[in-house]
Amino acid sequence: MIQASGLRKVYGNTVALDGVSLHVREGEIYGVLGQSGAGKSTLLRCVNLLERPTAGTVTVAGQDLTALRSGELNRARQRIGMIHQHFALLSSRTVAGNVAFPLEVMGVPKAERERRVAELLDLVGLGGRGGDRPNQLSGGQKQRVGIARALAGNPSVLLSDEATSALDPATTQSILALLKRLNTELGLTILLITHEMNVVKSVCDSVAIMADGRVEESGTIADLIRTPGSRLTREIFPLPEPAPAGSVTLTFTGDPRQAVVSEVVRKFDVDVNILGGSIEDLAGGAVGRLRVSLSGGEEAGALAFLRSRGVLVS
């Protein structure tokens, strides 16, 4: 759905993006994770060409945006929703007026606009608040208005620029739940950037980790979790590094609550000493990671058994 290839963005002497490629599949939630200054904001703004990349191409829904002239680009942008960290609502307009703005830009007739605005406000849980002013709303409600506005043009893609970074944890979760629901119900493809691992854990199907203008690793979360030594795994499941000699790290995907460890103890007569670990609920299902040391029995057999049960041993 979104294909970015070889994106470079240079400001004077600063290289903000240094050859970034990204592939977001239709219907997924793709997170770009990184510290501030990693280039993720520039990347997002290159996707709808708010920033024109110095080199590289961006294709959204099969259309090469970098090849479009400004009028065509504006029409293409109407099919790409965007939400912002500080909401970027018009203080001069009511809630309904804000949601109507993109419809006005598209030249939708007034009656049709009003119908659509009511529908959108219901969708984000703000039905009946159309007459309010943005400054009468809480942060979470403002972001809901931002989301309704972004969806006005029936976009196939939603870009989220740190949309929850200005919100408290509970509100963050409610906004993420809304995004997840829109993703499921409308089949909306979402590309979000964030510096919060929590956001990636809660809603993302795929992730790219960025640092210094480059993508360090990317892929589906499920794949990255199964990749030994991936940064994602280390950051989601911090275990003391370096691993003590003789210890192994077990990564449980699928159903981490099956009792494989006690099964190993019974079958292979080993002592299992748990050094650390945790279980996290990720968008693709629960994943557990455990560091253990085995001793006193058929250790090799035990490890082989664990592997045969789909546990990643490293």
Partner 1 sequence: MTWDEMGPLLWEAAGQTAQMVGWSTLFTVLFGLPLGVALVVFDRGGLRPAPALKSVLGVVVNVGRSLPFIVLMIAIIPFTRLVVGTTIGTAAVVVPLTVGAVPFFARLVETALREVGADVVQAAQAMGAGRTTIVRKVLLPEALPGLVAAVTVTVVALIGYSAMAGTIGGGGLGDLAVRYGYQRFETLLMIVTVVLLVVLVQLIQSLGDLVARRLSHR
Residues near partner 1 (CB under 8 A): 48, 50, 70-71, 73-78, 80, 82, 84, 86, 88-93, 101-102, 104-106, 133-135, 149, 153, 159
Name the helix (H) or strand (E) containing 138.
none
Residue (55 or 90) nearer to partner 1, CB: 90
Strands 189-194 and 206-211: unpaired
* CB closer to partner 1 out of 135 and 308: 135
CA separation for the pair 236, 66 (Å, rounded):
36
Measured from the CB of residue 5, what is the shortest distance to partner 1 in angstroms? 21
Q: Of 270, 228, 285, whose CA–CA distance to 251 is shortest? A: 228
What is the closest distance, in whole angstroms, from the C-beta atom of residue 189 to partner 1 in the complex? 16
Q: Closer to partner 1 at the Cβ: 124 or 221?
A: 124
Give least dist CB 31 to partner 1, A: 19
What's phi and psi for 156, nearest 5 deg? -90, -20
Instruction: Provide, rounded to whole angstroms, the least separation between the CB of residue 154 and partner 1.
Output: 13
Cis peptide, bond prior to residue 242, ω within 30 of zero:
yes
CB of 217 to partner 1, least distance (A): 28
Nearer to partner 1, 20 or 158 (CB): 158
- Per residue, the 3-state secondary structure of 161-225, as one string, reads ECCCCCCCHHHHHHHHHHHHHHHHHHCCEEEEEECCHHHHHHHCCEEEEEECCEEEEEEEHHHHH
Q: Which of 22, 4, 2 is nearest to 216 (CA)?
A: 22
Computed from CA positions of residues 95, 97, 101, 102, in that sequence, does the dihedral angle turn out positive or negative? positive
CA gap 238, 292 in Å, rounded: 14
Query: Residue 168 CB, nearest distance to partner 1 (Å)?
Result: 20
Nearer to partner 1, 76 or 178 (CB): 76
Nearer to partner 1, 13 or 135 (CB): 135
What tokens does 155 get?
Answer: 């976009």
Q: Which is nearer to partner 1, 83 or 292 (CB)?
A: 83
Q: Residue 125 CB, nearest distance to partner 1 (Å)?
A: 21
